[in-house]
Structure 1
Amino acid sequence: MSLRPTLRLRLTLLNGVLLVGAGAILLLLAWLLVRDALHPTDELLPGTTVTLADGRTLDAAQWQRRLVDTTSWELLAEGLGALLAVSLVGVAGAYAVAGRALRPLHQVTATAQRLGEATLDQRIRWSGADDEVAELAKTFDAMLDRLADSFEAQKRFVANASHELRTPLAVMRTEIDVTLSDDEADLAEYRRMATVVRDASERANGLVDALLLLARSEAQAGRALGRRTECDLAAGVANALSAVRREVDRIGLRVRTSLEPAPVLGDPGLLDRLAGNLVENAVRYNHLQGRMWVRTGSDGRRSWLVVGNTGFEVHQADVPGLFEPFRRGGQERTGARGSGLGLSIVRAVCTAHGGRVTAVAQPGGGLEVTVTLPAPGAAPVEAPTVRTGAADGSPGSPH
């Protein structure tokens, strides 16, 4: 089994090299100082002799050389021995300290290895010293929180999408089976069945289109748009109002518009769908003889689109939930018209273009949604987000 160059081993080797290097430098300095200091006979007259304890007589200069050599070698030998002992103790201590300091990293690794769709609730929850390792552990825990939320949202999205697609398919199959099992069914009955099947297929097709558009919009978030063309939000709103004119006349809505130029730079298809979704929602979730107001404008740095409507009452606490997929009026799969993806697409398109969307529940019922996007050449509008307060710089709804 080969020895892996782990972080613990590299830290230990680094500490060992520094310790041995520092000890060797100190030993060399001590050796040089001793050799320079041991010159007691330099001030004696030439020819001076020294009588040793064993009775021998030596020339003073010769005795000095022997003393310096002997002392230097003894210092070197004992110093090397001490350096070796200190190095061994220091390397062992560094290995133990590095292992203790890196223990949270092993916990991070073990947690990451255990992670799966069924174990996203596990966390490190480091409670040691507030150092870089603790910061890493907290960052990892925060990342796991985001992953858990993302997985939960994905599972909920898939479940809701499956339910929404299953409903029209079940309607079509039921109508076909009932009609085919009726031996007395005539042409009128088959026509009725065909109409129901057509409506159900259109609903399924619309849902698939909305899912694809939502995926496309979310894929653009955080990176450059595939298409960047100068557009006018006012033109997109005018087209959207024209498309719903018949429904507006049918339920007798009073529509007030103030469509000032609102230039933006982005994907024309996504921006048209953004305006269309807001206008369609304002009509779909309104009531007979209700009101709808639409405004666009720009101040040179940002452009905005405001769409408001009367309708059923929405609690302010439920407003953020309206931007989640398959949520209608704060409820999931209520059976109301539409796929429940309209505001989700609005949020995704707004985020992809570096803007923000805000929503305010209206007194007595209804909602006002404001989209703010950077004008051509301007910086992104703060951080892309969904808020529940009034939009900056946009006038309030009519009363």
Structure 2
Amino acid sequence: MNLPRRAAARLRRPNLTLRGRLTLTYAVLFTVGGSALVLAMTTALYEEIFRPLPASEVPGSLDPDHDNYIGLSDQIRDAAASRLLVIALLLLSVVVALSALVGWWVAGRLLRPIADITAAARRATDATLHERLRLTGPPDELRQLGDTFDEMLERLDRAFDAQRRFVANASHELRTPLALTRAAVEVTLAKPAVTEEQWRTMAADVADATGSAQRLISALLLLARSEQAAADLVEDDLADVAAEALDQVAGRARARGLRLRTDLEPAPLPANVALLGIAVSNLLENAVRYNRDGGLLHVTTGPAGDGTVRLTVVNDGPALDPERVENLFEPFNRGDRTRRRSAPDDLPDGTGLGLSIVRAVARAHTGTATARARAEGGLSVALELPGVRPGHRT
């Protein structure tokens, strides 16, 4: 069985903390170095003491007591060498003990930022994500780790905040079609005698409300999907995607008398074709829905420099506050317009997620989606994505 082996492995390899391992490493290295120093010093001392005298220094004649002197000197040298070895070993033991204590203290000082990071990670909840470590000291590896941890907390804080707003907005938006459905049913059932026409009217109202809820749920699922990193990338052309999306909205654009202008230059890029097609379609549908009758719809594609490609959609419409344009990318944010007052009768109600999906798709492709309010009214939205690199194969 593997249990005895695991138990033996635990006995052979005790679970030491990082601080303990650093201290043990310091002590072992110092012990090995000190032992080598003592051994080398003792060896050199013995070599020097017992080195034979040169021939020129050996006396030509020996006195009768010469052998006694030689024996006594040998004993003195042996005792001195042994004493020196004992003292060296004692000093080495003291130095090793002191080095272990100093190593433990130094390791604690060096690892204090890690302890702070561990404590912050244990405290981290959705209510404490605003806290930051803000480590001080030299820009070493531990400082970089602390800064990276702070950046992670900031991203998590933004994500949790966006999730809370998204859930609140989604709950509010889903409440509307459900309330309309319930009201239509209750009003019809409250009548003492319901005609077939009234039943049909109620069914039509319920179908409309159900369709709105279905479109909203589909948009929510699409937004969740598009917020992930894009996969299954294939080489495509942004101009071709824009041309296909223009064909889809051409009928509604003609019905409103929009002046269509296109400048579709080749813009090859690696992309998830399904997500990219939805993002471009959302841009064009918004440009038609929130345009004025007889207004301008201008679509351009082409290289944007630095290896990127760009799609720009410009439309006419009411003047917008430039400071509030960025809010249009938030889920369910329709600016100063409501769904009922902004969309013409021949267009389906919007979900308020169109531009949110566009930005999510752009980020999934490591690109950007920006908007700018036009002085003459309307909006200019730019979708910028990485293009095909030279020699790239998908």
TM-score range, shorter chain: 0.7 to 0.9
Q: Post-superposition shift, 1:327?
A: 2.1
1:226 to 225, 232, 242: 232
Residue 82 (structure 1) shift: 0.6
1:82 aligns with 2:87: no
Matches of 2:131 and 2:163, distance apart in 1: 19
130 and 357 in structure 1: CA distance in 2 versus 1, 3 angstrom threshold: closer
Alpha carbons of 1:335 and 1:154: their partners in 2 closer, same or farther (altered >3 Å)? farther
Equivalent of 1:45 in 42, 54, 59: 59
Equivalent-residue separation in structure 1 for 2:36 and 2:363 (angstroms): 61
Over 3 Å counting, the alpha-carbon distance change for 1:78 and 1:118 in structure 2 is same
Deviation by residue 1:250-279 (Cα, 9 ceiling, x = unmatched): 433222223344444433322221221111
- Counterpart pick for 1:258 among 260, 263, 286: 263
The answer for the alignment partner of 2:74 in structure 1 is 65
Structure 1's 335 and 29: CA in aligned 2 closer, same or farther, altered over 3 A? farther
1:394: which partner in 2? none
Task: Single out whichever of 254-263 and 274-283 deviates more from structure 2.
Answer: 254-263
Please say if residues 8 and 98 of structure 1, whose CA atoms lie closer than 8 Å, have aligned partners that are also in contact.
yes
Determine if the alignment matches structure 1 residue 5 to structure 2 residue 16: yes
Task: Give the letter aligned to residue 314 of structure 2.
Answer: G
Tell me the residue number matched to 1:328: 334
Structure 2 equivalent of residue 178 of structure 1 = 187
- What amino acid is aligned across from residue 349 of structure 1 in structure 2? V
SS at match of 2:227: helix
1:355-394 superposed matches below 5 A? 355-378=367-390
Query: Is residue 244 of structure 1 aligned with residue 249 of structure 2?
Result: yes
Residue 99 and residue 231 in structure 1: after superposition, are their counterparts in 2 closer, same or farther (change >3 A)?
Answer: closer
Q: Distance in 1 between matches of 2:239 and 2:39?
A: 83
Please point out which of 223, 227, 233 is paired with 1:214. 223
Distance 1:192 1:331, change over 3 A: closer
Q: Deviations over 1:175-194 (max 9, x none)?
A: 11111112233222222222
CA change 1:23–1:375 in 2 (3 A) is: closer
1:18 to 29, 32, 36: 29
Judged with a 3 Å threshold, the aligned counterparts in structure 2 of structure 1 residues 333 and 65 are, in CA distance, closer, same or farther, namely farther
Which of 270, 288, 294 is matched with 1:283 structurally? Answer: 288
Provide the residue aligned with 2:275 in structure 1.
Answer: 270
Distance apart, 1:83 and its partner CA: 0.5
Give the letter for the 1:273 counterpart. Answer: I
User: Once the 2 structures are TM-superposed, how far is the Cα of residue 27 of structure 1 from its aligned partner?
Assistant: 1.3
Indicate how the Cα distance of structure 1 residues 299 and 87 shifts in structure 2: closer, same or farther if over 3 A, else same.
closer
Pick closer, same or farther for the CA change 1:285–1:48 going to 2, 3 Å: farther
Distance (whole Å) between structure 2 residues aligned to residue 66 and residue 100 of structure 1: 51
Count of matched residue positions in the alignment of Structure 1 and Structure 2 = 371
- CA distance 1:334–1:150, shift in 2 (3 Å): farther
1:152 aligns with 2:165: no
Residue identity opposite 1:267 in structure 2: N
Shift of 1:169: 1.3
Aligned residue identity for 1:357: A
Tell me how far apart the structure 1 counterparts of residues 341 and 32 of structure 2 sit (CA, whole Å). Answer: 77
After superposition, the C-alpha distances for 1:7-53 in whole angstroms (9 at most, x for unaligned) are 101110111012112221221222122212225872333774697xx
**Higher relative contact order structure (alpha carbons within 8 Å, sequence separation ≥ 6):** 2
Question: What's the CA shift string for 1:341-397, capped at 9, x where partnerless?
Answer: 1112212223333443332221132111122334445599xxxxxxxxxxxxxxxxx
- In the alignment, the residues of structure 1 paired with residue 336 and residue 105 of structure 2 have an alpha-carbon distance, to the nearest angstrom, of 56
* 1:397 counterpart residue number: none
Q: Which residue does 1:339 correspond to in 2? A: 351
TM-score (norm 2): 0.83
Measured on the aligned residues, the alpha-carbon RMSD in Å equals 3.1
C-alpha distance 259-124 of structure 1, shift in aligned 2 (>3 A):
closer
The aligned residue for residue 383 of structure 1 is: none
**Structure with higher helix content:** 2
Identity between Structure 1 and Structure 2 (%): 42
Shift of 1:167: 1.3
Q: Structure 2: 5+ residue runs without aligned partners? A: 1-9, 343-348
Q: What are the ranges of 5 or more consecutive residues in structure 1 without an aligned counterpart?
A: 52-56, 381-399
Letter in 2 for 1:356: T
1:8 partner letter: R
